[in-house]
Structure 1
């Protein structure tokens, strides 16, 4: 059961922004996890720090986090950049009602095939001539400068070590490759013995061999299922912002089995009512009353089943295209870019040196195996006389 420090760019409510807002948000989530543990749904919870806060209260925030036992999952920095350049984002989040009660998801009348054209996947990091970020519909190498300037997400492990080093008593360093290509089953078995959580079950080994990155970027999506809607008609019978219409709709969430609802709200899983094309997919209701609405109306349930089945196939098809986009550039393309861009090369050298300074000390054998980082080291020395 995990709790993630969120990206500040994804936070809508002002009260949740910054270190203080992040602390309040994490505290609320951890309390929810405590309740889930008490109910017996999960055995352990952990805080995953994937994004960095750098405001005036950051030091205070990180001092309040228990890092006595910590895992640092590391990767070749050039591979990290390659991933960021080819990392897709959804332009619109299909969430449950916003603060004013308006529906921000899909309706039965919406054609699933059109969902990703109306709300296209985009790739961030591109800077315009004024230094502002612009979205692109396909990966581009000139996104590299934008990612180098995004300290919230990229190359900040050194800073986090500075915050945590006096409190860490047990530190385990793993590589991302330890969890890929089916190796995750063994890695989690190893960590289970160290951190005292249940070892993965042999019958679930297939799950550790699945790649879910692209699908994760497309989900969750909320469906407002209302009897007044004609299936796939593209004509909604009432205003999408009608609070009563949304209130009377059954709110259904298509997500992956890794969505936090699987632990926080397992009783709301209605997947067995649907024909799903991939075992990683799950269907949840927002509230128990939404399940009642479906079960009381066989016609509405049938519409919802047909819609979710078609939507699921569109998600899988789009995920396949995103996976192909990930292969448009590789680490050698990143290295070639740095050879021809002096300013960005020098900035990357400074950031990466700070990023892995402690990793070099604590796991030199792993860092020495970073093939592309070693090539980057050579480029920096040959072109700039810089030693990393």
Structure 2
């Protein structure tokens, strides 16, 4: 009866029928959001809600979109610091995202809906339906970046060795730990790990699924879009940027300036966090078997940002200065213990001295390894030079970007103009490829 009443109402006609909405809700969303109604979101199972095209509960304040390789991890840590609530769904199918959001959004708090593109290779009907069921007229924050810089990051993208060492003791060879960091190779049937970045893997990043922007926007019903360039969330500007966003999107302003100056995914990525177990048995007997023994003292080798991100900051205190006689090269690197564990360690002079010696050797070796890894990395100029020598790939990227940057070029041409490497890429294409040839490539792909 409720369905029939709703489908015959003027509100349904105005909201769904007139505009030929592809997923018309079978119940009145206004009543569903009212807990006083007998039939509301809490009384309808998520699976049934999906089948009935019910819009997501309206307990969200804005939608956040981010292109992969654009600083997504960093801004998520900033959102956490500002007490924004969201669900992490990097690769889940779109229906699963809906079901989880449907339950999550029933709790009244400062919620946001997050989508970080990794691939559009989903069931496209479900993809379209998910975004069409975001029905609330709210603003959209879209994090973007110079596409050439994104590709450079893709080529250099580190990935954890599947055989990574995460637990250390006094007898662990520090150089074995540095095998934890590898690089993304190809995404084929057999995922490829590479010991160093390689330009041969560049084509796997140049696909519509990863570079799309305008295509994503076209899925949205309401398009009040605020573009944010990744340069605005780098350490020197991140705090001020988040204050501006807090005013615009009405969330809590940050107060901890130091946190925003830290780097979430820098040179330390995948080398930390690590679990270190200090145990006297490893001094007395030279073996590697003692880790989580009851007598072990647990030490977390991590960073201020990761401690905050994983909500460990209240338990663990940074005792770095107690173990090192000089400031560390990487200020964000820290040695964290619970207060009572540190006091226990200090009482045992021989164990404390052995731990201090090990940690100093570890950090020295880590700094040496980081310099070696840095030398492997490609720069944007290397990517541009590769395109200069690879015409087919260059034209493919040109074709994709011409399509996907339409919206931002129209509404934020200033951001596009600030993308130095993209402008160089455009100039290169203009000089090397005639306009007719580019159009021919577009026609062939269409």
**Is TM more than 0.5 here?**
yes
Distance 1:283 1:368, change over 3 A: same
Retained in 2: the 8 A contact 1:148–1:348?
Answer: yes
Retained in 2: the 8 A contact 1:183–1:209?
Answer: no
Structure 2 SS opposite 1:259: helix
Count of paired positions: 343
Instruction: Please report how far the alpha carbon of residue 370 of structure 1 lies from its aligned counterpart in structure 2 after TM superposition.
Output: 2.7
Moved more, 154-163 or 356-365: 154-163
* Rg larger for: 2
Instruction: Please report how far the alpha carbon of residue 301 of structure 1 lies from its aligned counterpart in structure 2 after TM superposition.
Output: 6.3
Question: RMSD of the TM alignment (CA)?
Answer: 4.3
Q: Paired residue for 1:101?
A: none
Structure 1 SS opposite 2:226: strand
Instruction: Tell me the distance in 2 between the aligned counterparts of 1:237 and 1:30.
Output: 46
Distance 1:366 1:250, change over 3 A: same
Distance 1:249 1:146, change over 3 A: farther
Output one character per residue of 1:354-376: Cα deviation in whole Å (capped at 9) or x when no partner.
43232122212221333332333
Q: Paired residue for 1:362?
A: 411
Per the normalisation by structure 1, the TM-score is 0.69
Q: Are 1:311 and 2:369 counterparts?
A: no
Alignment equivalent of 1:83, drawn from 145, 153, 166: 153
**1:23-62 map, 5 Å:** 47=114, 49=116, 51-52=118-119, 54-56=121-123, 57-62=126-131
Q: Paired residue for 1:339?
A: 388
Alignment equivalent of 2:214, drawn from 152, 158, 179: 158
Instruction: Please report how far the alpha carbon of residue 262 of structure 1 lies from its aligned counterpart in structure 2 after TM superposition.
Output: 4.7
Structure 1 SS opposite 2:152: helix
Output one character per residue of 1:42-75: Cα deviation in whole Å (capped at 9) or x when no partner.
x987746253453224344445667823322222
Instruction: Tell me the distance in 1 between the aligned counterparts of 2:343 and 2:262.
Output: 35
Which fold has the larger relative contact order, with Cα–Cα distance below 8 Å and residues 6 or more apart in sequence?
A: 1
Retained in 2: the 8 A contact 1:108–1:232?
Answer: no
Instruction: Tell me the distance in 1 between the aligned counterparts of 2:146 and 2:117.
Output: 16
Q: Are 1:221 and 2:279 counterparts?
A: no
Retained in 1: the 8 A contact 2:168–2:275?
Answer: yes
Give 5+ residue unaligned stretches, structure 1.
9-16, 38-42, 96-103
Retained in 2: the 8 A contact 1:84–1:147?
Answer: yes
Distance 1:197 1:7, change over 3 A: closer
Q: Paired residue for 1:190?
A: 244
Q: Are 1:147 and 2:205 counterparts?
A: yes
Instruction: Tell me the distance in 1 between the aligned counterparts of 2:226 and 2:160.
Output: 33
Distance 1:182 1:59, change over 3 A: same
Structure 1 SS opposite 2:438: coil
**1:239-250 map, 5 Å:** 245=292
Alignment equivalent of 2:174, drawn from 104, 108, 112: 112
Output one character per residue of 1:313-334: Cα deviation in whole Å (capped at 9) or x when no partner.
44444334434433xx333332
